[in-house]
Structure formats: structure tokens, C-alpha cells
Amino acid sequence: MTHPVSTRGPAGGGGGARPPSSSGGVGLLACGVYVPRYRIDRKEIGRHWNTGGHGTRSVPGADEDAITMAVEAADRALGPDGADGIDAILLATCSLPYAEHDSVGTIAQALRARPDVETAILGGTPRAGGAGLRQAWDAVAAGRLGRVLVLASDARRGDPGTDLEGQLGAGAVAFVVGQGEALATFERAGSGGQPLLDRWRPAGAEGVRGYDPRFARERGHGPAAEAALAALGAPSPVADVRHLAVQQPDDRTAVLMAKAIGVGSERVVDAAAGLGDLGSAGMPLALVGALERGAVGDHVLALAYGSGVADSLLLRIARRPDTTGTLEGLARDVVPLEYPAFLRQTGALEPGGEAARAGLPPTSPLLWREGPDLLGLLAARCDACGYLNSPPESRRLCVRCGHRELTRVARARTGTVHTFGINHYMPPPLESPLPVIVADMADGSRYLALGTELSPDVLRIGLPVELCLRVLYQERGARVYGYKFREDHGRPPGGGPA
């Protein structure tokens, strides 16, 4: 189970704030949250390095990355309507699986977005989540776009033995930005600060590195928060701010930022407790917490920070979300990890030996041709007998009755286990035991897929399961995404419909 939980100012100065009237009624129409169920206790890490630590951080599964988590969060934000009404998808992340490749295309196909949907990646800094919201606001307020899906997803890691190893978590948040019955409306925005090298990841490196945390707080986070607040212009909104949503790289930084701008520490939304630093998803997660815990009319100040500079967004809550309890739901049904398992799942410890070659290479023309149907979970339904033929791109007649009239439809994502097998001998990079499942789906079809987050002692005939996007395999640095079965517990409060 996973936890869904559904005029820029010059650097360092003010005077570049957006006037409240320019928002044009643009706001956050929906939100969704996804955080992997795995957790590592910092004491478990410290036990192997003779260091201290308290609390936990979230850990992605070995087959999860920023792309799969973004899709999970987007599903919860979009609900049953899907991405039909979405004009653009913006992805904010510091942990793309590719240094060069438009990974948002994979997300668009998985969400069954329109072929003409705009896509863009905002990366290289944890404040990219705030930048995504501001760019979406700009485009909608200008009338160029109707609705924009903003995704913030990160799964950064620190090198083994460093302080950051136990601090950097994983998770994703999705917002739909547009005009309509909003959860919260945008009022003002600004940006300020002085560039500072406090945390960075060199080109080609896997782990994030950092300078002295105290120096970063006092010379980076605090002054940047003051500058971003000043960039909102007069009058200062501090007296009206009821909720402060900020990224929380550690236990002290959020409180220091609140103090720097004169906001009481009790107004800081404690969103990342037990999760760690979620990077570009940190501030958006706190913003979701503010929407769920605040009252209609409350002002929320969101600060997205990175490398000495902060972006500020002032929003007013317009209505309560249909479901609440996202932050509380993240603490349920978690799976604790021991340190060796943590190293394997984060990729710091890889199996030796020569990896098996994929029968279908990632660059295969067949995968390109069938990709939209496979990622979108589409099938060709026979108009005569109702049989679901897959993949629809290569089906010209029904394999059951031979009828030639087929209609492309979306497959069901939930079902029950019809039969299964457990493979205990898998070549690297696959790990054993590996479940292979055939499920009876809610639409009457059957679907064959690997299992994930399922131990052999849990699997049984009739077990409720759901399909989730995961990394199936990779070869020569290229990843192939597809669907796996996990146990379906139903979605906790805070996400989209179950």
C-alpha cells in the first residue's frame, strides 16, 4: 500500500511584487500527494556509521523514481476526469532519471493527456516547485492556457556515511492550476535572496553534498525568506499569515525562516515529519497541509528555497478540500527498512555480475509504437463481443470472435488475484522473490503483470490488487516503464477517489 494523500522582484530586493488584482481568479483547483511506504530510521543509519540521529525519512522502492511518483500524485489530483482538460504539464524535480531526455512525455502518456499538451521540466533546484506554480499562474492569468498540472517530485539521496544520507526523503505533490472553484487563490508573488552554495550535486554524481548546515540556515534560508517577503511589496502580509508553508531540510530551518520574517513558529505547517527533506516537493506538501488544516479566508505564505534564493507565494484559502487527513495518512502502514535494504533501494548498493539483456530493448521501435497504449493502459474493445484486445495499436480484429470494429478504451486498474507464481531465481538487476500475477480486473478482463511491494506470504487467490506505474527494467541507462500489481487497500484520506 502507498499513501495518497490528495513581476518577479530582483534578487535581494522588493518592488517587483504582483498586485493582488492581477490573479484573475487563478488558483489551485485540486491537489494530490504520494509518498512511498518505506521508511528508514536515522538511528539505523547511525548504527552503521557510529553517528546519531532521530526520526525517519521516506525511501522510494527499487522500482520507483521521480517519474512514477509524479504519476501517482497526478492520479490523485486529477481523479476520475483524468488529464482530458489539462493544457500543460510542468514537472519540478532535482532527481530526473535522465540527464537528457524529456521524461514528462512518459508522464503525459501514463495520464492519457491530449497529444497537443504542453510539457516542460523545471529542475536543478529545490525551489523548482514554487517556480512551477508561478509559471502556471502566469500562463492561466494571461489567458494562454486553461488548466495546468504542476508536479513536484523528488527522490534525492546523500552519499553513504554523510549527514544527508538520513535527511533526504522521497515524495511527490500535484496541483491543478486554473480558474474556477478553487481551493485557494493566488494573490501576490515575489523572489529574493543572494546566491549561496549550500547544497549541490556535481554533474555526474549521484549524491547531494552540503556545506555547514548552520551557515546555510543563517546566511541562506533566513535572509532569503526576508528578501522574498519584501519582494511581495506593501502592505506586508505578515500580520494576516495564518500558515507558513516551507521546505523543511532539517528540524530547525523552518522555525528560523519563520522567525526571520516575524511569523510565529506555531504557524509553520509541519508537513515533513517522518519523511525528511522532500526537495522540490517539500513546500508543495506543506501547502497541501495548510489547505487541509486552515479555514476559509486564511492566508498562506509559501516559500520555496534553493541555493540562497527564495520564491514567495501568497494565497488565500477559498474552500476546504473534499477530503482531509493527508499528513496523518502518511504515517500509516509504513514499512521499516534495515540499512542493507535501504542501500539497495536507493541504488547505493548494486548487485554484481552481468545483467541479463532485455528481450525487448528500451529503444525498440515496437516500444515506441505501443508505448502510448501500454503507459495509458488502453485496450481495443470489440464492439461485437466486448473482449478487450491488447495492445490496441496492433489489433485490427478481435482475437476472440474476429470482428473488425474495435473501440479504444481505458482498462480498469483494480481487480483480484486469479492466480500467481513466485520466481526465486532471477538474474540481475531483477531481485528474487519476484511475484508474477494474473488478475481478474474490474472490467471483466484479465491482466498479467509483475508484483511489487508484495511479499510471498501476503499473496493469495482473491487478494485485491491495483496497477501502479513502475520501472520494469533498464538497459544502457534507458528505462522502460510499465505497470505492476500491488495490494489494494483502498486510498486513505487526502487523495483522489478510491
pLDDT digits (tens, 9 = 90+) for 448-493: 999 999 988 899 999 999 999 999 888 878 898 999 999 998 754 4
Contact assessment for residue 210 and residue 163, using Cβ atoms and an 8 Å cutoff: yes
Superfamily classification of domain 3-346: Thiolase/Chalcone synthase (3.40.47.10)
Q: What is the pLDDT of residue 81?
A: 80
More confident residue, 222 or 490: 222
Binning pLDDT at 50, 70 and 90, where does residue 498 land?
Answer: very low
Measured CA to CA, the distance from residue 469 to residue 498 in angstroms comes to 17
Binning pLDDT at 50, 70 and 90, where does residue 194 land?
Answer: very high
Query: Could you read off the pLDDT of 274-320 as tens digits, one per residue?
Result: 999 999 999 999 999 999 999 999 999 999 999 999 999 999 999 98
Helix, strand or coil, per DSSP, at residue 277: strand
The predicted model scores a pTM of 0.90
DSSP class of residue 249?
Answer: S
> Over the chain, what is the mean pLDDT?
89
Measured CA to CA, the distance from residue 150 to residue 90 in angstroms comes to 5
Residue type, 184: A
| 123 pLDDT more than 90 | yes
Q: Name the residue with cell 499528513.
A: 327
Query: Could you read off the pLDDT of 392-438 as tens digits, one per residue?
Result: 888 889 999 999 999 999 999 999 999 999 998 877 667 778 899 99
Query: Could you read off the pLDDT of 19-75 as tens digits, one per residue?
Result: 333 445 999 999 999 999 999 999 999 999 988 788 999 999 999 999 999 999 999
- C-alpha cell at position 65: 523514481
Q: What is the pLDDT of residue 473?
A: 84
Angle at 409 between CA 405 and CA 410, to 5 degrees: 160
Measured CA to CA, the distance from residue 391 to residue 397 in angstroms comes to 12
Q: What is the pLDDT of residue 359?
A: 63
Binning pLDDT at 50, 70 and 90, where does residue 356 land?
Answer: low
Residue type, 253: T
Phi then psi for residue 219, to 5 deg, are -105, -10
Measured CA to CA, the distance from residue 186 to residue 206 in angstroms comes to 36
Q: What is the pLDDT of residue 286?
A: 96
Binning pLDDT at 50, 70 and 90, where does residue 7 land?
Answer: very low
Binning pLDDT at 50, 70 and 90, where does residue 152 land?
Answer: very high
Measured CA to CA, the distance from residue 285 to residue 291 in angstroms comes to 10
DSSP, residue by residue, 369-426: HHHHHHHTTEEEEETTT--EESSGGG-SS-TTT----EEEEEPPSEEEEEEEEEE---
* C-alpha of 316 from chain center: 24
Domain residue limits, the chain: 3-346, 350-361+413-498
Q: What is the pLDDT of residue 67?
A: 97
Q: Which residues, at least 6 apart from 144, have a Cβ–Cβ distance to it below 8 Å?
A: none
Measured CA to CA, the distance from residue 249 to residue 155 in angstroms comes to 14
More confident residue, 368 or 4: 368
User: CB-based burial of residue 75 (10 Å sphere; 0-12 exposed, 13-18 middle, 19+ buried)?
Assistant: buried
Measured CA to CA, the distance from residue 300 to residue 23 in angstroms comes to 15
Question: Where is 290: in which H helix or E strand?
Answer: helix 282-293
Q: What share of the chain is helix, strand, coil (3-state, %, to 5)?
A: 25, 30, 45
Sign of the CA dihedral running 267, 268, 269, 273: negative
